[in-house]
């Protein structure tokens, strides 16, 4: 019985969506601008990487051709150098957000048709009723931040005061999110998680998609750094996703990285949550080795987004793409006859763009496996086509959105 692996390269967009101007993102192009920067030396960093963007395996799977289909041009050095090895195309998001839950839910067959709630870019950002309740129920001396901010910058700004006072750092962004940062040692990791659970309950009335725990360590003297113990507390999808469908069909499901958090742990099977792209990819590959017939592995590689996109780090992003590309042969090596792999993304996060937020972009769809013939699958009118294709491949009935290309 066939099996499937879906890998989401978090934020690896391939050109501004048709409605990008409405989001302030007309002209954004994550992969294209990284490739152009690398071609002109702006992607170089001593000791990390240099030269043109080198993604030979993904180029052979059709990445450059997917970019061309989306934007009308192949980014520098992404032309396939030999025979193509997979099917390629690009996806258009129909959900109203450019956030992680919207992208992943739509991939899984549930486009977000409603408007998320957002906190305004004011100081303070949060309604007084929300902060008062969070302080009272969390038994806090108060909160710090209360504004739109970069996660690393706000920790640098308030980390010392947080350690001195015990007040957690609360902030948001253009996404539908409340983020709470606290020191793992002086505040406590489990206490931070408990506070986020309170925040999750309080945020429901505001239609906020996620409450995110952002633990960090360090000191004012040596500096602060975020740890891998991030945890997302998401509102559940409004209807069944492909994960629910597979669970009801009794199929083996393994979810890797933050997939479990994104789907509020519903239908997410055996959850594995390593720290970092390499560890998550290794876990996904290992899961495929032991996956039963008709099974599904769903993985998210978040570092592209959290470590490089939001931080506007072009060389770091380029190096992460090249590191993933080098491991594509490892994915191919564990595939059995009938297996299917899809590589996609959930939104963009152009590291050459202004600000620190996601960008509204089309996404690549690269599809390969022992029996997948090279072909153009064209423009897909919804990310939901990915989930529909997974279910079609696994021969499981599909009642959600999307149209399979298989």
Whether 124 contacts 147, CB under 8 Å: yes
Q: Which residues of 209-244 are buried (b: 16+ CB within 10 A; e: fewer)?
A: bbbbbbbbbbeeeeebebeebbbbbbbebeebbbbb
Give the C-alpha distances (Å, rounded to integers) separating 225 from 76, 159, 255. Answer: 34, 10, 27
Express as a percent the part of the chain with pLDDT over 90.
97
Whether 381 contacts 404, CB under 8 Å: no
> Quick one: pLDDT at residue 1?
85
pLDDT at 79 over 80: yes
Q: Of 99, 71, 25, give the one whose Cα is nearest residue 355.
A: 25
The residue count of the chain comes to 406
Reduce the DSSP state of residue 305 to 3 states and report it: helix
> Quick one: pLDDT at residue 258?
95
> Quick one: pLDDT at residue 251?
98
Rounded CA-CA distance 246/406 in Å is: 18
289's CB contacts (< 8 A; 6+ apart) are 334
> Quick one: pLDDT at residue 312?
97
Whether 75 contacts 35, CB under 8 Å: yes
149-202 per-position pLDDT tens digit: 999 999 999 999 999 999 999 999 989 999 999 999 999 999 999 999 999 999
Whether 84 contacts 384, CB under 8 Å: no
pLDDT at 398 over 90: no
Reduce the DSSP state of residue 216 to 3 states and report it: strand
- Tokens describing residue 12: 């690896």
Over the chain, what is the mean pLDDT?
97
Helix axes 30-39, 314-326, angle to 10 degrees: 100
Domains, the chain, ranges and CATH? Answer: 4-113+238-393 (3.40.720.10), 128-233 (3.30.70.1250)
Per-residue pLDDT averaged across 31-44, rounded?
98
Q: What is the DSSP letter of 386?
A: H
Whether 339 contacts 369, CB under 8 Å: yes
pTM of model > 0.85:
yes
Give the C-alpha distances (Å, rounded to integers) separating 402 from 78, 91, 105, 199. Answer: 29, 11, 12, 33
Neighbour tally for 185: CB within 10 Å = 13
Which residue has tokens 């839910």? Answer: 105
Residue 259 φ/ψ, nearest 5 degrees: -60, -45
pLDDT at 48 over 80: yes
Angle at 263 between CA 262 and CA 264, to 5 degrees: 95
Confidence of residue 32 (pLDDT cuts 50, 70, 90): very high
pLDDT at 321 over 90: yes
Per-residue pLDDT averaged across 317-335, rounded?
98
Whether 39 contacts 314, CB under 8 Å: no
> Quick one: pLDDT at residue 243?
97
Reduce the DSSP state of residue 399 to 3 states and report it: coil
203-261 per-position pLDDT tens digit: 999 999 999 999 999 999 999 999 999 999 999 999 999 999 999 999 999 999 999 99
- Higher per-residue confidence, 175 vs 76: 76
Whether 144 contacts 155, CB under 8 Å: no
- Higher per-residue confidence, 397 vs 366: 366
Neighbour tally for 160: CB within 10 Å = 14
Strands (E) in 10-162, as ranges, are 87-91, 144-148
Q: In what order do the strands lie in the sheet with 296-301?
A: 270-272, 253-256, 296-301, 4-9, 340-344, 363-368, 87-91, 375-380
């Amino acid at each position: 019985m066939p099996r499937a692996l879906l890998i989401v390269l978090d934020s690896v967009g391939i050109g501004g969506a048709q409605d990008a101007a409405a989001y302030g993102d007309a002209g954004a192009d994550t992969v294209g601008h990284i490739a152009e920067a690398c071609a002109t030396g702006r992607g170089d960093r001593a000791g990390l990487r240099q030269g043109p963007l080198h993604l030979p395996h993904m180029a052979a799977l059709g990445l450059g051709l997917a970019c061309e289909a989306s934007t009308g041009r192949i980014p520098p050095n992404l032309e396939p150098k030999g025979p193509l090895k997979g099917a390629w195309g690009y996806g258009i998001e129909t959900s109203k957000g450019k956030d992680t839950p919207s992208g992943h839910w739509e991939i899984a067959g549930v486009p977000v048709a409603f408007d998320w709630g957002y906190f305004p870019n004011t100081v303070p950002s949060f309604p007084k009723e929300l902060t008062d309740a969070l302080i009272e129920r969390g038994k806090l001396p108060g909160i710090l931040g209360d504004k739109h901010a970069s996660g690393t910058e706000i920790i640098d700004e308030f980390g010392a005061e947080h350690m001195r006072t015990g007040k957690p750092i609360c902030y948001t962004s253009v996404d539908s999110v409340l983020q709470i940062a606290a020191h793992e040692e002086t505040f406590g990791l489990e206490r931070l998680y408990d506070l986020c659970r309170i925040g999750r309950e309080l945020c429901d009335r505001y239609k906020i998609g996620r409450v995110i725990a952002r633990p960090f360590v360090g000191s004012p003297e040596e500096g602060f750094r975020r740890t891998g113990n991030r945890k997302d507390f998401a509102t559940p999808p409004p209807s069944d996703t492909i994960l629910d469908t597979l669970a009801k069909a009794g199929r083996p499901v393994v979810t890797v990285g933050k997939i479990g958090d994104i789907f509020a742990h519903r239908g997410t099977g055996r959850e594995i949550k390593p720290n970092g792209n390499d560890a998550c990819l290794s876990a996904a590959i290992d899961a495929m080795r032991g996956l039963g017939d008709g099974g599904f592995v769903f993985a998210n590689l978040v570092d592209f987004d959290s470590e490089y996109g939001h931080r506007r780090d072009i060389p770091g992003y380029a190096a992460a793409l090249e590191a993933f590309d080098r491991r594509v042969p490892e994915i191919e090596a564990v595939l059995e006859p009938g297996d299917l792999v899809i590589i996609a993304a959930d939104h963009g996060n152009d590291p050459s763009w202004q600000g620190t937020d996601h960008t509204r972009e089309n996404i690549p769809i690269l599809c390969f496996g022992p029996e997948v013939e090279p072909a153009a699958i064209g423009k897909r009118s919804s990310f939901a086509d990915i989930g529909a294709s997974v279910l079609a491949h696994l021969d499981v009935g599909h009642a959600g959105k999307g149209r399979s290309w298989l």
